[in-house]
Structure 1
Amino acid sequence: MANSSSSAQSSVQDNVEDTDNSLKESQGMKGEVHHHLEESIRPYIDLIDTLRSFGIHKDLALPTIVVIGDQSSGKSSVLEALSGIALPRGSGIVTRCPLELRLRNVTGGGSWKAVLSYHKKKTEKNTKAVSNQLASSASKRPRLSYEEKIIEFGDPSLVEKHVEEAQNELAGKGVKICDDLITLEVRSADVCDLTLIDLPGIARVPVQGQPQDIGNQIKRLIMKFIEKQETINMVVVPCNIDIATTEALKMAQEVDPEGIRTLAILTKPDLIDTGTEKNILAVVQNKVIPLRKGYIMVKCRGQQQIDEKVPLVEATQIERDFFQNHNFFRPLLDENKATIKCLAIKLTQDLVNHIKKSLPKLDEQIKKQLWDVRNELKECEAGPPQDPKGAKQFLIKVLTKFNDKIKSLSLGELMDKENMFVQLRTEFKKWNDGLNETKTSFDSSKELRQNYRGRELPGFSNYRIFEMILQERVAKLKKPAIESLNSIKDIILKQFTDVSQQCFRNYPVLLNTTMNKIDNIQSSQQDKAEQRIMDQFEMESMIYTQDPIYFKFLNEISNEQFSEVQLPVLDIKSKYSEMLQAYYEIVVQRMADQLPMLISFYMLKETAQLLCTDMLSILEGANVSELLFEDSDVSKRRKHLQSRLGRLTAAHEELVILFERSEDVILDYTFM
């Protein structure tokens, strides 16, 4: 990168000098790298760690320091020097998952202690779905869940082992990477108060076993962290290469072109070529690629020192002696731009200052999201309580609501766009219209004499002819009657299904249980209705009606006035056509009303009563948690919102506590 203008360099240099002055003041506090800041900084670092533990990073970006660098840049050595612990080492990709390193200085001594934690995805079968096909296919799908693993240990030598095992569980054995976060908290009297996230080193060429796009995968993971404005990017660059060509710094410049939130760490100063010292010094002094947070040079343990197991404490002294005796880099000690000790102080100060500046925005974001989540939750139906007693009461409430809707539906009180009784009346009208279409004129007296004459002599009547003609005509109505029954059954079934889906759409097991009950009851009721219809046709074959009713229809058809005294005149074949037509009108009238009433009674009224009674029987010995198992988009959204509400509420409470204790951060933290 070309040199910036003198004014830009001057501005950056002023900022760096301000930081350097702060560092000098900080160094005078206690004089040791692990006791360099006041205890007042701890609440800020602890706050962000606590918020991340709540999962707030899923909702909004948190103030963070991330460590990036090309492979073999010395990143692991820097982290080891800061933490005092040995992290996984080796060739190729060593850090395969983001590693959150929480360093906690325990004043007053105390034994060394570490806690490693991560959330492992696991696929489990849905134990709530029953095997007798009560559960829908959706509820039988394998589901992903998360199991938190926590490992506590007191031996620093076990860090490398536990980190490697965690990476193998999350990313698999080999050289693959994973986005899942591993958290390592170290409590010791020999560490500084600091939290940072180590990311995989940038790979240029895939090695054996690595996917061809491993470089892009790593860059995507790194970019997800460094592009956030709340992130301080700590870029580790070896001194013995051209800083302008390092991929890590290029990525940092891409998301932070002005270098406002980028800090560069120069490693391996003992490996530079003779004669290049002034060029390296110009970089550290912010004259080549200006960065607002500047540069710090460190010399960590080399491979030989690691092999010889040189203690970190001794390595720290060796580092200081190196700079103290270096002809070109000695001034960096006075400028607080060299050594791990200086880096620790600067990182802690930068992080705390960054957190303080971010708190007002963070507070507003949390309050806004809380408001939004609460409003979204109002749009979701309340789910079942977790406690058994509350869940059973919830089930009773759900079943009662369903029964009430079914009763209202059967009484015509439940109105919707597809009103059931409008559809039923349409079907009943079709039945009535079909009956009327069968009321064609009966054969003339001549045809009757020719086609239906029995053994009688001319002039005599045969009542059997009358019966036979009517029975044949009525028998033809059986098929359309059953068709009408099936059509009406489908309408009622759809309506019952719609109510079931409305009431139980979030509970697949309960929905399937209800649908089975509806199918069984409807099937039984259909058999009863069909049998009752057949009985009705059997009764119609008896040919009967009250005399006054018969005379009424006969008189209307013949336009004459017949009465019982005229029976001898009436009982002649010339009147058979009118007599048949009059009686068939009575049949049509009866069947037009009787069949709809039969079907409505058995398929709607009685079905609704049986269903409501049967639904209440679910409560007897019911597996409530099984019946209320949820596997729907609504329930998933509700659970997601409830989870967000929980962590946002907890985060807001933590902020309130900090604001009440803090004198240098004053906010209006009242949440409406």
Structure 2
Amino acid sequence: MPQLAVVGSQSAGKSSVLETIVGRDFLPRGSGIVTRRPLVLQLIHTPVSDPPKDFEEWGQFLHIDKRYTDFNEIRREIEQETFRVAGQNKGISKLPIHLRIYSPNVLDLTLVDLPGLTKIPVGDQPSDIERQIRSLVIDYISKPNCVILAVSAANVDLANSEALKLARSVDPQGRRTIGVLTKLDLMDAGTNALDILTGRVYPLKLGFIGVVNRSQADINNEKPLSEALDAEQEFFRNHAAYRNIAHKNGTRYLTKTLNQVLMNHIRDKLPDMKARLNTLMGQAQQELNSFGDSAIYGDKNQQGALVLRLMTQFARDFVASIEGTSVDISTKELSGGARIYYIFNDVFGTALTSIDATHNLDNQDIRTAIRNSTGPRPSLFVPEIAFDLLVKPQIKLLESPSLRCVELVYEELVKICHNCTSSELARFPRLHAQLVEVVSELLRERLGPTTDYTQSLIDIQTAYINTNHPAFISGSAAAAQSMTSTPKPAAPRHKSIEHHSASIESLNGTSQTEDDESTEEPFPNGRAVPERTRHGATSAPPIPVPSSGASSHRHHSTHHHGSRHASGTSVVGGSGSSPQSGTAKETFLNYFFGQNGPGPLQGATAERGAGGPIVTGRDISGADPSLEAGLMAGRRSMDSNAAYDMKSLGKHIEAASDGSSHLTMREEMETNLIRSLIQSYFNIVRQTIQDLVPKAIMHLLVNNTSQQVQNRLVAALYKPELFGELLNEDEALVAERTRVKALLDAYRDAFKTLSEVTLKST
């Protein structure tokens, strides 16, 4: 609201001017700085009562609910309130003191008495007292709605007036500044301030007004203000220089002028003020509406309708956050369903992809597993039990990230639940807490089945190792191709060497390939040999029998195209050797059955290979005599070999037990094959888990909760006996509603006052 700010230097007579306007002594007096806090003085004109009352004039402070009829008590209260805030020293404070004076002898005015301007600190004043006072004064007079009452002493050169200097800094045109000259009676004889009062020295739009206040002797003698006003008027009428302008000077004229200036200023600012008040009232009303109406607390039906509406809105917000249809969608970070997708795609997917299927398996572990799975029997091919034994723990590596994925989605749903708080629901913290608790309990109920099902997905994969999976066949074929130690012969083939069926037959231990589509006919001695290959090759020659003195078995065979293929699990994809290879390692029998000793040939069965017949699975008692003689020669050679001495044998057993022995060529190839098979099957299971776990979480946890949340809320909380407790409002919110309501009432009163002023001015 527009107001009048009284500005002037210390001892310029500001307090005397205010007291003369009010017609009462009520301001503290003394030497030095006395006014140390702004005093907002609101004068309210009251009609004269009929019959007259004993006390028609009184004062009232805003900081204390008390009516003061003794103006001396008002002075003491001002002093005590100043000491309470500004302290006992001469420091100042920006916190104002509000005082209203009701009297039939005053006009409606609002004046602000500010601390007097000073230059240097005196006594125990702060060293920056000048800066503090100037900052305080500028805060008030810089407002466009403030009319500046610049008080200057007439016995001091006007060029040194600090009040006019500050007023000019904020009002250069002098449109809202009124000059007041005090102490006209104290000017030197022969001098006067006529040029200043007539505006010829320092022009102001609102002009200068001269006043004569009581002297210190009059104050000490408690001269009544009514007599002081009469003496002032007599001074101007009898003064030779001022008699012509006596009607435009004096305290009474100053009061009327201030009232008229204030009213005109209000009238000029009325449109802006009314528009501003309309805006403030609208904002306050909207804020008050956000707090809700407190009139519903006595009606159970209204309470039930409110609780049901808030529960429904909470459930809708929860589902909308998950589905991404919420109104308040953040553009700064992922939230709601987007974070769930991020967990599925980035967090969970990256965790599974980062798992190496065989990072925790070294060659010794794989070799030990192969050996342990065969027991006391030698293995002709890689045992499937070893593969199952090794691949199941690797599949278990997927369990931890899968269960963690369930936990992350659960935590995100709980976070979504806590964030579903509307402004209306924030009024009722207990209701909101109960809503969150019910939904959290529902999520906890669904967490158990979801975790169990996710666990069962891993258990299902370890329960049955499906080596017939098409992707596993393809992966095994690729592994078999990669394990080939020598290139394939350049002989023409009618079908692709990467055909799945050929590869799986090689991995399963059968030696029939796609190139061998011939039929088998039994020999008279019981051995099965191929009748004829598809390319027209005749039966391969029989296995040559080594001589009795040979230290190794040698095996030479001839292929129709000039190359030989040995088929078996341990030789993945086959390894070719030229007929000229004469070492033990390069021969087929020495590779599988060892350089020394009888090997597993005695219990072997005849199996048809890509290059010729191999004796497997039949007793050789009725076989070729030359072959039997060769085997007996080998046995005699073993008996005389020192490597099979019992002491040396014990050393070999200890070395094999601690796993420190080096891998043989066959063991190395078997190890690499098992490793590639584990990798292939692990990739199949990983893809399955990566697909099924998010689906299970969405079905069992997310979608199930979204479908049941509203029904669960209604069943748990829609009970009439709980309405009163659930709808208890926050104490801070109740206090805020009271404050906003009082502010709205004040805005309405101010708007009503402005409307009355508008009517009076028109």
The TM-score, its normalising length taken from structure 2, stands at 0.58
2:421 aligned partner:
503
> Are 1:67 and 2:6 an aligned pair?
yes
- Contact 1:295–1:337 (CA<8 Å) still a contact in 2? no
Mapping 1:325-344, distance limit 5 Å: 325-333=238-246, 336-344=247-255
Q: CA deviation at 1:234?
A: 1.6
2: distance between equivalents of 1:586 and 1:251? 86
Structure-1 residue corresponding to 2:532 = none
- 2:391 corresponds to: 473
Letter in 2 for 1:482: S
**1:345 aligns to what?**
256
Deviations 1:350-406 (A, max 9, x none): 3233333433443455457778x599x69x994555567499977765554343233
The one-letter amino acid paired with 1:478 is K
* Structure 1 residue 112 displacement after superposition: 3.0
**1:423 and 1:491 in contact (8 A); partners too:** no
Is the 8 Å Cα contact of residues 403 and 455 (structure 2) preserved in structure 1?
Answer: no
Tell me if structure 1 keeps the 8 A contact 2:394–2:682: no
Q: Which secondary structure does the structure 2 equivalent of 1:208 belong to?
A: coil
- Residues 514 and 196 of structure 1: is their aligned pair in 2 closer, same or farther, counting only changes over 3 Å? same
Query: Which deviations, in whole Å up to 9, do the C-alpha atoms of 1:429-480 show, x marking residues without a partner?
Result: 55775789679x999xx97996345345468999xx6456324322223344
What residue ranges of structure 2 are gaps of 5+ in the alignment? 477-499, 513-567, 571-669
Q: 1:202 to 1:524 in 2, by over 3 A?
A: farther
Measured after TM superposition, the shift of residue 529 of structure 1 is 5.6
How far apart, in 1, do the equivalents of 2:731 and 2:322 lie? 26
C-alpha spacing 1:623/1:92, structure 2 compared with 1 (3 Å): farther
SS in structure 2 at match of 1:503: coil
Distance 1:592 1:100 in 2: 74
1:238 touches 1:267 (CA, 8 Å); kept in 2? yes
Distance 1:554 1:264 in 2: 102
- 1:93 corresponding residue in structure 2: 33
Counterpart for residue 663 of structure 2: none
Give, in angstroms, the shift of residue 273 of structure 1.
Answer: 2.1
193, 202, 216: which one aligns with 1:289: 202
Matches within 5 A, 1:297-308: 297-308=210-221
- Preserved CA contact (<8 Å) 1:497 1:515: no
Match of 2:153 in 1: 238
1:423 counterpart (317, 334, 342): 342
1:146-545 → structure 2 map (5 Å cutoff): 149-277=64-192, 280-333=193-246, 336-366=247-277, 382-383=290-291, 385=293, 389=297, 397=309, 400-409=312-321, 418=334, 419-420=338-339, 422-427=341-346, 429-430=349-350, 451-455=371-375, 457=377, 466-467=384-385, 469-487=387-405, 489-490=407-408, 493-494=411-412, 496-497=414-415, 500-501=418-419, 503=421, 533-534=454-455, 537-538=458-459, 540-543=461-464
Whole-Å Cα distance in 1 between the matches of residues 127 and 223 of structure 2?
A: 38
Measured after TM superposition, the shift of residue 615 of structure 1 is 11
Structure 1 residue 257 displacement after superposition: 3.4
Gaps of 5+ in 1: 1-61, 119-147, 666-672
Rounded Cα–Cα distance in structure 2 between residues aligned with 1:71 and 1:177: 14
1:64 corresponds to which letter in structure 2? Answer: Q
Q: Is the 8 A contact 1:68 1:233 kept in 2?
A: yes
Alpha-carbon separation, structure 2, partners of 1:627 and 1:369 = 25
User: Aligned equivalents of 2:171 and 2:31: distance in 1?
Assistant: 30
Does 2:501 correspond to 1:559?
A: yes
Change (3 A) 1:269 1:616: farther
TM-score, reference length from structure 1:
0.65
- Indicate how the Cα distance of structure 1 residues 115 and 501 shifts in structure 2: closer, same or farther if over 3 A, else same: farther
Q: Percent identity?
A: 24
Task: Tell me, yes or no, if the aligned pair for 1:435 and 1:592 is still in contact at 8 Å.
Answer: no
Q: Which amino acid counterpart does residue 403 of structure 1 have in structure 2?
A: A
Residue by residue, what CA displacement relative to the aligned partner does 1:516-567 show, whole Å, maximum 9, x if unpaired?
999998789777766665555556554477xxx95988988752899xxx99
* CA 1:616–1:156: 2 relative to 1, 3 Å: farther
Instruction: Check whether the contact 1:406–1:496 (CA below 8 A) recurs between aligned residues.
Output: no
In structure 1, how many angstroms separate the alpha carbons of the residues matched to 2:115 and 2:471? 97
Q: How many residues align?
A: 552
- RMSD (CA atoms): 5.4
**Are the counterparts in 2 of residues 176 and 210 from structure 1 also a CA contact under 8 Å?**
yes
- Range with greater deviation from structure 2 (389-398 or 360-369): 389-398
Residue type of the alignment partner of 1:102: Q
Which structure has the greater CA radius of gyration? 2
DSSP 3-state at the match of 2:155: coil
Q: Which has the higher contact order (CA 8 A, sep 6+)?
A: 1
1:83 and 2:13 are equivalent in the alignment? no
1:102 maps to which of 39, 42, 53: 42
Q: Distance in 2 between matches of 1:598 and 1:555?
A: 28
- Where is the helix percentage greater, Structure 1 or Structure 2? 1
Matching residue of 2:660? none
- State how far apart, in whole Å, the 1-side matches of 2:269 and 2:386 are: 97
Cα drift, residue 309 of structure 1? 1.6
Report the CA distance shift for 1:489/1:115 in structure 2 as closer, same or farther (over 3 A): farther
* Aligned mate of 1:117, from 58, 61, 76: 61
Q: How much has 1:175 moved relative to structure 2?
A: 2.9
Shift of 1:618: 8.1
After TM superposition, give the deviation of residue 407 of structure 1 in Å.
3.2
Which has the higher mean CA deviation after the structures are superposed, 509-518 or 190-199?
A: 509-518
